Structures are given as structure tokens and as C-alpha cells.
Chains A and B, each alone.
Chain A
Amino acid sequence: MFKFTRAFVFVAVAFSFLLAACGTASTPAAAGAPATQAPGSVTLTGTGSTFQFPAEQAYAEFFPAVDPSVVINYTGTGSGAGKKAIIDGTVDFAGSDAVLNPDEITAGKDLQIYPFLAGATVMAYNLPSLDPKNDPKLILDGKTLADIYMGKITMWNDPAILALNPKIASKLPAQPIFTVHRADGSGTTEIFTNALTAFSSDWTAGHGTVIDWPTDKAGTGKGGNGNPGVTAEIAKNQYSLGYVEYAYAVQNNLPFAQMVNKAGNVVTASPDSTKAAMTDFANAFTPQLTAVIVDAPGAQSWPIAGYTYIIIHQTSMTDCVKAQKLVEYIHWILTNPAAIKYATDLGFIPLPDAVQQKVLGTLSQVTCNGQPVHW
């Protein structure tokens, strides 16, 4: 008989779990928000961009010291997955390096995009004839880069490349250029193809997170999955060229090219040159707070850069405790000197002051159940 009792207890426990799950799910948390919350009682869940993941991870570690009631949980699932999750309303915020397209804006209704960091994209290369320590870096300009990815320039000793690199001209081999790109849908691809579109009217393959690469059709190009995949393809194929995120290239000691920018100066990717590009375009924000910052006109501006964004529901949040904490969190990562330092240490570039003011202006308009939310 006791076996039967045991089985009954077992089933009862299983059901109590179910009831507990349903019970908490249906509790309206917004009703009568208490002034202070228990430590760790508010979880803000975010997902998306793998590019901003290291920064989010640092924020998640340090924000609870500012507000112990909040747990930040960010997972890197890719910009596309992040946008889908915030449209479905299954997360509190999404991370994305790509902007929302018109369909997503329609589906997401009141989505608002907040730039909070930027990153540079660099051209990593594998030229065994160059000594990474002693030889000067390879130099490219926008037109040449577009022609290479268009399949018009196919050899490393093409006159256009030789003209840009007089110091290492003798070391550029008569070898075909193998181009590497991202195979997955990527915000980095969007930044890179935005740049190519701006560089040259000859670039006709368009721009976006995924495009048809002309060099793939010609058999001289290949895709790699994520930054590691692109890097692996570059390492594997001699005489190859590919684009990766600046922070990634620095972390992994990849040699990457200098660029001739719009002003005609040779510039190196760095936090300063990226910040210069961001400042050039401080007034270029659309009402949705998105901005393309490629091919910047400034004298020292790096030409291939882009913002990474947090996306939230601007007016339709109903859990006001969460809305409050989320706005406080975004305000903290935008303005807190310590938070900015965590991101800078990881190779990200924080917003210039002019941009920051604009973003904070939009953040102050967040509402919950019709009531304004203040940080």
C-alpha cells in the first residue's frame, strides 16, 4: 500500500510545481509597486547581439552593486534573434548591431532603438610575404576595397593597391585575392556593406545583414560563421582578406589594414578615430535614433564603423517596476563613468557627449501604463 502512497505524493509534487509556475506567471506584478524591492527580485532579461555581449556581461556584474534588487541577464544569440524576441515580447530588451527594418518596426509597434556603444570594423589580411612586426601595415582605400569585393581587383599586385602601398610594393605578390565575409546574418556585415555602398558607386551588391557576394559567384570568396569563422578562413587561406570587429582583431592579434579616409588621410582603427567618426555624424540621427557612420568626412575619422543598440518597448510596458529598473539601467550604462570604463576597456567606444544628450532625451520619454518613467 505504501508504494501507492509514494506514487501519489510523487504526482502531487509534480502538480504543485506546475501550479507554482502558473501562479507566479499570472500574478500582476505591476499592481501597487512597493517602494523598495528585495535583493535580486527584478530580473531584466535581454538577448541578441554577440558583439555587445562582453559589455553587457560586465554591466550585469556591476549594476547590482548600484541597485541590488536588479539581476541583469543578457545572452548572446545574434542580432536577428534579439530583434525577434523583443518583437514577440519575450524579453525586456534586445541587443542589436543592425537597425530595425520597416517590417520589424510595424510588427514591434512601439519599439525604440537606443545606441549606446560603437565599434570599428577592420580588414584583417593574411599576406605571408609581409612581416607583421617590421613591415608597415597594408593600406587600402574605400574605392579599392569595394573593387576587391566586387571582383574587379583580383590580384594583390594590382596597380591600385601598389599605388597605395609604395613602401611594401615589392612585397605584394602576384597572387589572387581571396575575400572572406560573414556567412551568418550579422550587424558587422551591415556596417561593412553600408561602408562599401558609401565608398563607391561601382558597388552594386547592396547592403544589409546578409547579401549576395559577387566574389562568391566568381569563386574567389567564402563565408565564415561569426568573427571566429572569418578569422579561421583568413588563417587557413594565404593571400586572403576579410572584415572583423576591431575589438576581436585586437584580442586575437590579427594584422589589419590602415585605411585612406574621405579626407584623404591614412588612419588606423582605434577608439579615437572611431569616436571622431561618431562626432562627425552626431547630427545624422533619424527620429528613430539610428545613424549610419561610415565614410566619415573628418580628418582623423575611421571610415568603417557602426553603433550597437539596445531595443526596448517605449510605451507598451505594463510592469512599471521593471520599466523603471530598465530605464535606470540604460541611463547607468550611458552616463556612469565606471560603466563607460568597463566598455572602453573591452575595446568599445562610448557615445560622444552630443549623441549622449540626444539618446537621453528619448530615454526620458519612456512611459509605462501612460505614466512617465524617470531614472
Chain B
Amino acid sequence: MTRFQQLIAKNGARHRRHRRIVNGVMLSLTGLLTLMALVPLFWIIGYVIYRGAPVLNLNFFTQLARPIGMRGGGVLFAIEGTAVLAILACLFAIPPGVLAAFYAARNPNTPLGIALRFSTDVLAGVPSIVMGLFIYGLVVVPMKHFSGFAGGLALSILMLPTIIRTTEEMLKLVPHTLREGSLGLGAPEWKTNLSVVFPAALDGIITGFLLAIARATGETAPLLFTALGNERFDIGAIIQSGIQAHQSIFAVIGRIINQPIDSLPLTLWTYAMQPYQERIDQSWGVALVLMIFVLLIEIVARMWIEARKRALQG
């Protein structure tokens, strides 16, 4: 045995014990703190289910609000409104967001690319109520009325930074060799981007969209000055009356997005502020529906991504 090996043998046992103890302490500490971090999450979910579940029934999803004192009624208007707002916000945010991300990923060090990255960071830090006020001045006041269109715009500005940054990061993750291979085979730049780079990054990009949608559908503040709220919003009735009046599909879509519109968080906010127990109970139901809504988006998207992965591999 060399001198060195002797030393190891002598100190080794003590060292090992020391390391085991430190390992044990740190492991239980991190485990405990993880649990503590999870407690609020499950507490919130559990309490929302506890308070919200009793008011959920079929009517809650299929009826409009009823006046105070008349039992029943639902939040169909808010569910439809949230869906319309989410679709509008995606339509306004995704095309410019994705194109901007392509630009930033391909030209990171040009003045415009640097300006873009800087301004998306700033935009991400702007309080969401400011987006609402911005659109109020820009769209609502000149148009002379609150509308789902304005609400969708306000939400889309909120979604833009998330979409641009995640899309850019995902595009950067695509291996250079893949691009070069495509270009080397003679594909033009646009075709390389569209049919090689974009599909390769698609899963991550979609996840970014979902994060953005989940954030936007949970927002109240930007909608206060833009969408305003509308307890009588009923897409079914609008379409029906549109058909009766022989309106074109564009006129009907115009009527849907051109009037004040409600959303789940907005309804949650107004109901929770009201002095009537009935409304406060319903606001818990709305909170639960909102949670399920966001969860559904997540699940559907995950399933879609899984299915796509399998299709690509198989």
C-alpha cells in the first residue's frame, strides 16, 4: 500500500459518513421545501373544487346569467366569450409573433434584431392593465364602443412577448446541420424555414403558444377597458338572428366580435365583488371552470404533441 492509499483508507470511512449525513440533510431539506412549494398549489386547487363544485351543473354551462334572487342560470356567456377572445388574441398575436421570432433567430445581431429582443423584454414587464388602457385609447374611444375585437387586441399584445421569445428560442435549438443540409440540397431559404426548420421546432413553439394562451385567458385587467363584459352574450342567438336576417357569415362574425364581450376571469371578478351570496358561490364555480378550461387546453395540446411524435417516429 502506498502512503496515499493508506491516507484514503484512514480518512475514507469518516469522509463517507460525513458525505452521507450532508446528503441526507440536504435531501430532506429540499424535499421538505418542494412539498411546501406544492402546498399552496394543491391548497388552491382543492379549495376551488370544494367551493366551486357544488354550483356546477349542466345549466351552469348552457345558460346565460339570471337576475339575483332567481335561482339557476349559468355562465355560458363567459365561456363563449373566453373562447372568442382566445381565438382573436391568437389570430392577432401568432402571425406577427412567429414572423418576428424568425427574424430575430436569423438576424440576432442586426440593429432591428437587438431592438426587437430588447422591446419584447420591456413589453413582457409592462403591467397588463396598461395594455388595456393603451387599446382603450387606440381602439375603443375612436370606435366609440367596447368590443371583443378590442379585448382580443389587448390580450394579443400580452401574448406577443411570450410567443416571440419561446418561438425564437425553439428556432435557435434546431441544429445548424439540418438547415445547412436543406440549403445544400438546393432548397431556397423560405422553403428551408417553412418545411425544415419550422416543423422541427413546432412542438416547442406550440408549447409557447399554449403558455401564452393560458396566461391571456386568465387575465382580467386588460379586459376591463376593452371587452367591458356582457352577460347577455350568446353566440347561438347571434347566429340564429343572423340566419333569419340573411346576413353573410362575415356580418355575423363581425357582430360577434364587435360587441362587448365577457370572459371567465372578468365574470369571476364582477361576481366576487357583489354583495349577494348566490353570486359569490357562482364566482367559485367560475374559478373552477376557468381552471378546467386552462387544464383542457394543456391536455389537448399534450395529446396532440404526443400523437405527432409517434407519427414522426413511426
Tell which of B147, B228, B250, B257 touches A75, judged by Cβ atoms closer than 8 Å: B228
Known: A73-B232, A75-B230, A91-B146. A21 touches B254 (CB 8 A): yes
Separation in Å of the A83 CB from the closest CB of chain B? Answer: 15
A58 & B143 in contact (Cβ 8 Å cutoff)? no
- Does A251 lie at the interface of the complex (its beta carbon under 8 Å from any beta carbon of B)? yes
B276 & A54 in contact (Cβ 8 Å cutoff)? yes
Chain A hits for B146, CB < 8 A: 45, 90-91
Interface centre among B66, B231, B244, B255, by most A CB within 10 Å? B231
Chain B hits for A14, CB < 8 A: 91-92, 95
B231 & A73 in contact (Cβ 8 Å cutoff)? yes
- Does B141 lie at the interface of the complex (its beta carbon under 8 Å from any beta carbon of A)? yes
Tell which of A23, A40, A88 touches B238, judged by Cβ atoms closer than 8 Å: A40
A252 to B87, CA, bound (A): 40
Chain A hits for B244, CB < 8 A: 38-39
Chain B hits for A58, CB < 8 A: 67-68
Chain B hits for A73, CB < 8 A: 229-233, 259-260
- Does B307 lie at the interface of the complex (its beta carbon under 8 Å from any beta carbon of A)? no
Q: Give residues 117-152 of B contacting A (CB, 8 Å).
A: 140-141, 143-147, 149
- Does A122 lie at the interface of the complex (its beta carbon under 8 Å from any beta carbon of B)? no
B92 & A57 in contact (Cβ 8 Å cutoff)? no
Chain A hits for B195, CB < 8 A: 3
- Does A201 lie at the interface of the complex (its beta carbon under 8 Å from any beta carbon of B)? no
Separation in Å of the A35 CB from the closest CB of chain B? Answer: 14
- Does B312 lie at the interface of the complex (its beta carbon under 8 Å from any beta carbon of A)? no
A251 to B277, CA, bound (A): 9
A50 & B273 in contact (Cβ 8 Å cutoff)? yes
Chain B hits for A25, CB < 8 A: 143, 258
Separation in Å of the A77 CB from the closest CB of chain B? Answer: 7
Interface centre among B92, B233, B276, by most A CB within 10 Å? B276
Chain A hits for B70, CB < 8 A: 61
A342 to B69, CA, bound (A): 10
- Does A281 lie at the interface of the complex (its beta carbon under 8 Å from any beta carbon of B)? no
- Contact-size category for B: 35 or more
Separation in Å of the A18 CB from the closest CB of chain B? Answer: 8
A50 & B274 in contact (Cβ 8 Å cutoff)? yes
Closest to A16 in B: B250
Chain A hits for B88, CB < 8 A: 17
Tell which of B141, B228, B254 touches A23, judged by Cβ atoms closer than 8 Å: B254
Chain A hits for B292, CB < 8 A: none
- Does A24 lie at the interface of the complex (its beta carbon under 8 Å from any beta carbon of B)? yes
- Does A66 lie at the interface of the complex (its beta carbon under 8 Å from any beta carbon of B)? no
A89 to B146, CA, bound (A): 10
Binds B, one of A4-12, A202-210, A365-373: A4-12
- Does B65 lie at the interface of the complex (its beta carbon under 8 Å from any beta carbon of A)? yes
A43 to B144, CA, bound (A): 14
Separation in Å of the B68 CB from the closest CB of chain A? Answer: 5
A72 to B234, CA, bound (A): 12
Chain B hits for A19, CB < 8 A: 250
Interface string of A170-203 (1 = CB under 8 A from B): 0000000000000000000000000000000000
Separation in Å of the A348 CB from the closest CB of chain B? Answer: 12
Closest to B92 in A: A14
A17 & B91 in contact (Cβ 8 Å cutoff)? yes
- Does A248 lie at the interface of the complex (its beta carbon under 8 Å from any beta carbon of B)? yes
Chain B hits for A248, CB < 8 A: 275
Chain A hits for B62, CB < 8 A: none
Q: Give residues 208-247 of B contacting A (CB, 8 Å).
A: 224, 228-234, 237-238, 240-242, 244-245
- Does B194 lie at the interface of the complex (its beta carbon under 8 Å from any beta carbon of A)? yes
Tell which of A16, A61, A228 touches B275, judged by Cβ atoms closer than 8 Å: A228
A252 & B68 in contact (Cβ 8 Å cutoff)? no
A58 to B65, CA, bound (A): 10
Chain A hits for B145, CB < 8 A: 45, 90-91
Interface string of A22-64 (1 = CB under 8 A from B): 0111000000000000111101010100100110011011000
- Does A345 lie at the interface of the complex (its beta carbon under 8 Å from any beta carbon of B)? yes
A4 & B260 in contact (Cβ 8 Å cutoff)? no
Known: A11-B95, A17-B253. A251 touches B276 (CB 8 A): yes
A77 to B193, CA, bound (A): 48
Separation in Å of the B117 CB from the closest CB of chain A? Answer: 24
- Does B270 lie at the interface of the complex (its beta carbon under 8 Å from any beta carbon of A)? yes
B251 & A76 in contact (Cβ 8 Å cutoff)? no
Known: A13-B91, A76-B270. A20 touches B257 (CB 8 A): yes
* Closest A-B pairs by Cβ, 10 of them: A24-B254, A58-B67, A75-B229, A38-B245, A20-B254, A20-B250, A14-B91, A54-B68, A21-B149, A248-B275
Binding site for A on B (CB under 8 A): 65-70, 88, 91-92, 95, 140-141, 143-147, 149, 194-195, 198-199, 224, 228-234, 237-238, 240-242, 244-245, 250-251, 253-255, 257-260, 270, 273-277
* Cross-chain pairs A/B with CB under 8 angstroms, 22 sampled: A10-B95, A20-B254, A21-B258, A25-B143, A38-B242, A40-B238, A40-B241, A43-B260, A45-B228, A54-B68, A54-B276, A57-B65, A61-B66, A61-B70, A75-B228, A75-B231, A90-B141, A90-B145, A91-B145, A226-B273, A227-B275, A346-B69
Given A3-B195, A40-B237, A252-B275, 7 extra CB contacts under 8 A: A10-B95, A20-B251, A39-B237, A40-B234, A43-B260, A50-B274, A226-B273
